[in-house]
Each structure stands twice: as structure tokens, then as C-alpha cells.
Amino acid sequence: MPSIPRPRLRKGPRSGSDADPAHAAPEPNVETIEAHGLRWINIERPGSLDRAWLEEHFEFHALDYEDVTSRNQRPKIDEYDDYLFIVLHFPVFDKAVGRLNAAELDIFVGPDFLITLPNRPIPPVDYLFERCTSSEEMRDGLLSKGPGYLLYRIVDDSFDYCFPMLRKMGNKLERIEEDIFLGRSEEVVRDISNAKQEIINFRKIIRPERPVLRDLERTKQRYMAEDIDIYFDDIVDASERIWDMLENYKEVVEALEDTNESVLAHRVNDVLRVLTAFSVVILPLTLIASIWGMNVGVPGEDTKEAFWAVIGSMAVILASMLAYFRRRGWL
């Protein structure tokens, strides 16, 4: 069983010390909470110094340390005699690029410790850790029930964080539908593309999580009391609800794309119909003007009466054709 000494917290130099902060040795980015014989260690964005600290204080498998520093690790659960190593992914909105990206959360679970190592800030994990740090009641409520219950709360809060993002995606799809029928079809093409990209990214994150959660439900008995083991069923239900919503949104955005293309095609057909009608109307007038404009003798040549007769005939033909097209609904 690996020993679990108290990790060193990040602190500045003591008052009155001769240490120069600019030349102080860097310390590992380790934060810890301890209560009721259980320790929650959080290391955000672990680097080489944090890995060295873990290797010094814990006897985890070398492949697990490599997975922690790897950027392209798939969700999984590795089961060992003394601990579990869990890799999960959760969607996080990246403001820098304006889209959803996957945040990896590596978790070590043992009989009296739980270590979380997010590769980027995950708001529900940070919020839960801060609440445990600031509230003794919250800390006692979470850590007194063992590492299994703490694992459940971390994973459950992370999945619950997905639902507000899904609701925003649903609201965006509703706005896109309204814009389509308000005559802004050209402008919503980019919005539909962005919505499709968000749904695809979300699905890529959630799809590989589903078998991992089923494995987690199978292995939860190692560190969870029997009276609360049903909690992990709620996580599986939450992931299935998320997947169902993503499937629904996928169908909706595809339907919106087809509808928008139909609206654009209908608008093009209207334009072509009007242009065709004008072409057909002008065609006989052009024919008459061409005949009387030939450099040959024509009836009524060099007479004002013939000119006005031709103009009147053209006006009558124009009015007749326009009336006929309007009656047939072509204009």
C-alpha cells in the first residue's frame, strides 16, 4: 500500500525570511483536503515537477504516469490491487477558439485517498474542491462517506455541468429555426455549421464515456458502501440522457439544414420564375420591334400613325400577357 504523507501546499516565502521569491525553487502544484481519514489531492495541469512528486509519494504503475502526461488518452479504467486509475473526458467551452473542447480528468482512487489531475480547468471539479476547502460541513459530508462517494460526486457534478451547455445548444437551434423563417437564410448558414460542429465535438467526447461508466459501475463496490452504491446508476442515467439529447439535436440540426436549403432553393426558384416571366413578356415585344426596325420596306413606313399603331399593339400584348400570368399565379 503506498504511503500517503501530507503534500506540500503552494506557499510564498515566510515573513522575515531571506529567501528571494524570484530565485525560490518551484514547488509542485499540489492542493489537498483531508478529513475522516480520507485525502483528496488535486493537481491541475500536472507537469514534470508534479509527476516527480507523485512518483516520490505513490507507487503507481509507470504506464499510469505516462497516461497522466499524455494528451491523447482515451477514457478507460485500469484496475490494480491497491487502486483504480480512471481517465474521463468532459466538454469544456474554450473561449480562446470559441468552441467546445475535451478536458481530460485523470483520477487515482485508493482506500484512503483520491487524486484528481485535470489537464485543464474543469469548472465543476474546481467548484467542488473550493467548497470543500471553505466549508467544513461540506468537507465532512463528502469525505466521511469514503473515496467511492467522493468519486461519485466529482463525476456526477461533471456530467451535470453538461446539461446547461446542452440547453444553450437547444436555444441556439430554436433561434436558428426562427431566423430561417424570418428570411435570414443566408446568414444562418454559418450558424448551422457552428451548431453542427458543437454537436459533433460533444458526441465525440460523450460516446467513449458510456462503456467506461458501465465498467465504473461494475468496479464501484471496491470503495463504496453497499447502501450508496445505487448512486452510480444515476451517473449512467445522466450520460444516457446526455446522449439522447445529442442524438435529438443531431436530427434537429440536420432537419434545419435541409429546411434552410429548401428555403434558399424556393427563393431562387421565385427569382428565376420572375426573370422567366419578364423574358417571355419581352420576347414578343422584341420580335415586333425587330420586324419594324429592319432595313426593308414595311407597311406604314415613314408615317406617324404606323408608329403609334405599333406602340399600341405592343402595349396591348404586354398588358394581356401580364394579366394572363397573374391569373395563372406565375407572377
Q: Which three cell numbers stand for residue 120?
A: 485543464
| pLDDT computed for residue 222 by the predictor | 62
Better-scored residue on pLDDT, 55 or 222: 55
Residue 300, pLDDT above cutoff 80:
no
Count of other CB atoms within 10 angstroms of residue 330: 13
Separation CA 254–CA 249 (nearest Å): 8
32: three-class secondary structure by DSSP: strand
Average pLDDT in the 100-119 region? 90
Separation CA 34–CA 45 (nearest Å): 21
End-to-end CA distance of the chain: 85
Characterize the bridge pairing of strands 38-42 and 113-118.
parallel
* Beta sheet of 99-109, edge-to-edge order: 31-35, 38-42, 113-118, 99-109, 84-94, 76-79
Average pLDDT in the 70-87 region? 86
323: three-class secondary structure by DSSP: helix
| pLDDT computed for residue 301 by the predictor | 66
User: How buried is residue 188: exposed, middle or buried, by Cβ count under 10 Å (0-12/13-18/19+)?
Assistant: buried
Give 289's pLDDT tier (boundaries 50, 70, 90). confident
Q: Alpha-carbon torsion 149, 151, 157, 160, what sign? A: negative
Helix, strand, coil shares of the chain as percentages rounded to 5? Answer: 60, 15, 30
The DSSP result for 105-129, as a single string, is EEEEE-SSEEEEEESS--HHHHHHH
**Cα 45-48-54 angle, rounded to 5 deg:** 85
Judged by average pLDDT, the poorest of 104-113, 205-214, 234-243, 309-318 is 309-318
Write the pLDDT tens digit of every residue in 219-276.
Answer: 656 666 656 667 778 888 889 999 999 999 999 999 998 888 888 887 888 788 778 7
Q: Alpha-carbon torsion 28, 33, 37, 38, what sign? A: negative
Q: Which residue has the cell 473561449?
A: 95
**What angle in degrees, to the nearest 10, is found between the helix axes of 147-160 and 136-143?**
110
Contact criterion met (CB below 8 Å) for 91 and 166: no
| pLDDT computed for residue 123 by the predictor | 92
Judged by average pLDDT, the poorest of 80-94, 147-161, 296-310 is 296-310
| pLDDT computed for residue 4 by the predictor | 41
Residue 40, pLDDT above cutoff 90:
yes
Better-scored residue on pLDDT, 157 or 292: 157
Give 3's pLDDT tier (boundaries 50, 70, 90). very low
Separation CA 133–CA 205 (nearest Å): 30
**pTM (whole model) above 0.85:** no
Q: How far is CA 321 from the centre of its chain?
A: 55
Characterize the bridge pairing of strands 38-42 and 31-35.
antiparallel
242 closest CA partner among 166, 146, 129: 166
Residue 180, pLDDT above cutoff 70:
yes
Judged by average pLDDT, the poorest of 16-20, 23-27, 108-112, 234-238 is 16-20
Average pLDDT, the chain: 81
| pLDDT computed for residue 1 by the predictor | 40
Select 23-265's CATH number: 3.30.460.20, 3.30.470.20, 3.40.50.720, 3.30.530.20.
Answer: 3.30.460.20
Residue 166, pLDDT above cutoff 90:
yes
| pLDDT computed for residue 183 by the predictor | 74
Residue 125, pLDDT above cutoff 90:
yes
Burial 290-326 (b: 16+ CB within 10 A, else e): eebeeeeeeeeeeeeeeeeebeeebeeeeeebeeebe
Better-scored residue on pLDDT, 97 or 17: 97
What does the domain layout of the chain look like in residue ranges? 23-265, 269-327
